[in-house]
Amino acid sequence: MKTYILTATTTAIALGLASCAPSGQARSQTPEDKAQQTAPKTSATTAPAKPIGPLSVPSGTYVMDTYHGYVTFSYSHFGFSRPVLAFRDVDATIHLDAAHPENSTVNVTIDPDLIDSGVVPFDGHLKDKDFFDVEQFKTISFKSTKLERLSTETGRLTGDLTIKGITRPVVLDVKLLAAGPHPMKKVPSLGIEAHTMVKRADFGLGKYVPYVSNEVEISVSAEFNKTE
């Protein structure tokens, strides 16, 4: 209580002194002050965004080089490790509109029977009904529905991913590594990386969730060569 009274009294005295201060002690406004107060406030201007130009390769159909195309996925295994698995049979095609890349489309098909964990018995476990059920579901597919360019090298690719007959929309962060003539194949080529995160339970692959993580990171790194 004493502390409260002391604080309140001190505040009151300070306010009283301020109100009793001679008006002559206050700094009078200069013409510059008045001009600054009445001048319209302006916000900082930003330079207009630079247009994103066309790609330096011709339009057409580009097919993934199977010797240099990788689709992998990883997840947390009880928090003790993060396995990285791959698919050994991937067929991917880009129908490229070089002048307007946002109009391009991507189609991917994967054979889940050729999953590769690096451990043959584990591969068999992943192929059974608890997971990919390859006897019934022969194909994993992805079909793009939208491509948004963020810069000359980056973008977002939206599409429909189908696993075990279940289709869900996914968005991949895409990076263009290279676009130009291939030094060995002597054809126009593209180098691309892409990443996304999906929940495996959304595709009927939820065995052992949450102990084995539901979130699965999918990564793509591939070269594409023009065929026509």
pLDDT tens readout for residues 148-187: 999 999 999 999 999 999 999 999 999 999 999 999 999 9
Domains of the chain, first to last? 60-226 (2.40.128.110)
Tens digit of each residue's pLDDT (9 = 90 or more) over 51-104: 788 999 999 999 999 999 999 999 999 999 999 999 999 999 999 999 999 999
Tens digit of each residue's pLDDT (9 = 90 or more) over 27-46: 555 555 555 555 555 445 55
The string of DSSP letters for the chain reads: -HHHHHHHHHHHHHHHHHHHS-GGGSPPPPHHHHHHHHSPP-PPP-PPPPPP---SS-SEEEEEEEEEEEEEEE--BTTTB--EEEES-EEEEEEE-SSSGGG-EEEEEE-GGGEE-S-HHHHHHHHSTTTT-TTT---EEEEEEEEEESSSSEEEEEEEEEETTEEEEEEEEEEEEEEEE-TTT-SEEEEEEEEEEEEGGGGT--TTTTTB-SEEEEEEEEEEEE--
User: Is 13's pLDDT higher than 50?
Assistant: no
Q: What is the pLDDT of residue 20?
A: 40
- The average confidence (pLDDT) of the chain is 86
Q: What is the pLDDT of residue 45?
A: 56
Q: What is the pLDDT of residue 36?
A: 54
Predicted TM-score (pTM) of this structure: 0.77
Q: What is the pLDDT of residue 53?
A: 86
